[in-house]
């Protein structure tokens, strides 16, 4: 019963492979899951709701409104109820509607309301599957954070041989088991993440900033969201995009703007990961007009401190609220990081040094050491920032699960 108590929304569309949905439903139920089936009108032409309802033990949902009494089926409630949604089989039409948000049936509105991870198992003839529009829509769904369970090769409904067969139900269940057992450990937790640089304006065209790309913070946001968390990502100026539907992005420019957003959001969060490279100082006065160069005289700039986001959150954090900080150091790395952790009341701090090749700003890789308040220290080798994000989340939220926060 590896899926015991898990809530799964199964979307069924108008494909000959809909018969596999019956097998998939039966296997999920045997694993202990609760399955709510949402079927498109075309799907009912291939398999009856009576069959699927008998297998799932729940009424099958197809229309927005129940016939006769005016009651309606809440796609919003389904989005909150589910631990996972899978559309299997997914036709080219449904994939296109999902990719472009065309909410003309109950399945698509449920998808648009979904807070949990979403999977799609395509099923169609080989020409449709390899058509540029279908592949473009699949890529768009991937970029939106939807996970594609790729079609397999074999004999199709047209009796042609090629790629387009829906993956077998047994293999789909194995994939879902793996995700729900190891990759959904932050389910429904609310996590705030800060990322990127801040820009402190000197005049309308110039600013004080740093070389942060935001890659580490965005990787952390994607990792948390993929594990089931609801993420609010407060980011300074960056060209990066957040793809997972569970990430709410808040754009800011200056340290003061990030400070205001963080203090407003943090009280409702289970934890905060403060990976942004916030400017320590800003110009005392921002000039209203562009500063002109005249002659060769020196130009001086008076700077004042910015508010300390980490320290401010450390003062208001409640028992059970996790705060994770970052320290980018060039000398006395561990002692400086430990001091920062204590001063700002952080539960752990992620240390990286500019002395390590491939670590720090702008790189796709990072090399970190994680220090915690109880004296534990874990050092990791140089890895991609996506892999580093996994190490940080495993370590930091391990402290929360063990009651050390």
Q: How far apart are CA 78 and CA 118, in angstroms?
A: 13
Q: What's the whole-number average pLDDT of the chain? A: 90
Helix axes 255-265, 309-316, angle to 10 degrees: 20
Mean pLDDT, range 367-393, rounded to an integer: 90
Mean pLDDT, range 273-282, rounded to an integer: 96
Residues annotated catalytic, as ranges: 210
Contact 364, 215 (CB under 8 A): yes
Largest CA distance in the chain: 86
| Top-level class of domain 190-288+299-401 | alpha beta
83 vs 134: which has the higher pLDDT? 134
Q: How far apart are CA 336 and CA 114, in angstroms?
A: 43
Q: What is the pLDDT of residue 228?
A: 81
Position 64 pLDDT exceeds 90: no
Range(s) for CATH 3.40.50.10300 in the chain?
190-288+299-401
* Fold assignment, 7-182: Rossmann fold (3.40.50)
Work out the pLDDT band at 111, boundaries 50, 70, 90.
Answer: very high
Query: 315-340: string of b/e by CB count within 10 Å (b at 16+)?
Result: eebeeebbbbbbbbbeeebeebbbeb
Position 254 pLDDT exceeds 90: yes
Range(s) for CATH 3.40.50.1950 in the chain?
7-182
Placement of tokens 């140089």 in the chain? 382
Q: How far apart are CA 58 and CA 114, in angstroms?
A: 19
Q: How far apart are CA 179 and CA 183, in angstroms?
A: 5
Q: What is the pLDDT of residue 47?
A: 96
pTM over 0.75: no
Work out the pLDDT band at 310, boundaries 50, 70, 90.
Answer: very high
């Amino acid at each position: 019963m590896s899926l015991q108590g898990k809530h799964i929304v199964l979307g069924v569309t108008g494909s000959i492979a809909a018969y596999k949905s019956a097998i998939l439903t039966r296997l999920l139920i045997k694993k202990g899951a609760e399955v709510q089936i949402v079927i498109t009108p075309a799907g009912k032409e291939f398999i009856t709701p009576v069959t699927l309802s008998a297998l799932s033990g729940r009424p099958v949902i197809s229309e927005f409104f129940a016939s006769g009494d005016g009651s309606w089926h809440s796609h919003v409630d389904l989005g909150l109820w589910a631990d996972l949604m899978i559309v299997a089989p997914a036709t080219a039409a449904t994939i296109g509607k999902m990719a472009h948000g065309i909410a003309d049936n109950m399945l698509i509105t449920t998808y648009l309301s979904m807070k949990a991870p979403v999977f799609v198992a395509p099923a169609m003839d080989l020409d449709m599957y390899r058509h540029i529009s279908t592949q473009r829509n699949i890529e768009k769904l991937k970029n939106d954070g939807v996970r594609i369970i790729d079609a397999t090769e074999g004999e199709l409904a047209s009796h042609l041989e090629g790629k387009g067969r829906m993956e077998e139900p047994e293999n789909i269940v194995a994939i879902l088991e793996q995700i729900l057992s190891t990759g959904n450990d932050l389910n429904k937790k609310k996590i705030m993440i800060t990322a990127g640089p801040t820009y402190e304006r000197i005049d309308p065209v110039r600013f004080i900033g740093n070389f942060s790309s935001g890659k580490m913070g965005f990787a952390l946001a994607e990792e948390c969201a993929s594990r089931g968390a609801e993420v609010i990502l407060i980011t300074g100026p960056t060209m990066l995009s957040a793809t997972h539907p569970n990430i709410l992005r808040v754009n800011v420019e200056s340290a003061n703007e990030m400070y205001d957003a963080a203090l407003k959001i943090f009280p409702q969060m289970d934890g905060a990961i403060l990976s942004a490279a916030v400017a320590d100082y800003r110009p005392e006065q921002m000039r209203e007009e562009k500063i002109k160069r005249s002659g060769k005289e020196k130009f001086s700039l008076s700077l004042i401190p910015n508010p300390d986001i980490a320290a401010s959150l450390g003062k208001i954090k409640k028992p059970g609220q996790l705060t994770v900080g970052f320290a980018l150091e060039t000398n006395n790395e561990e002692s400086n990081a430990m001091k920062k952790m204590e001063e700002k009341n952080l539960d752990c701090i992620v240390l990286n040094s500019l002395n390590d090749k491939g670590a720090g700003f702008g790189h796709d890789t990072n090399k970190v050491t994680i220090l915690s308040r109880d004296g534990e220290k874990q050092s990791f080798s140089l890895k991609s920032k996506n892999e580093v994000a996994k190490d940080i989340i495993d370590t930091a939220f391990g402290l929360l699960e063990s009651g050390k926060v």
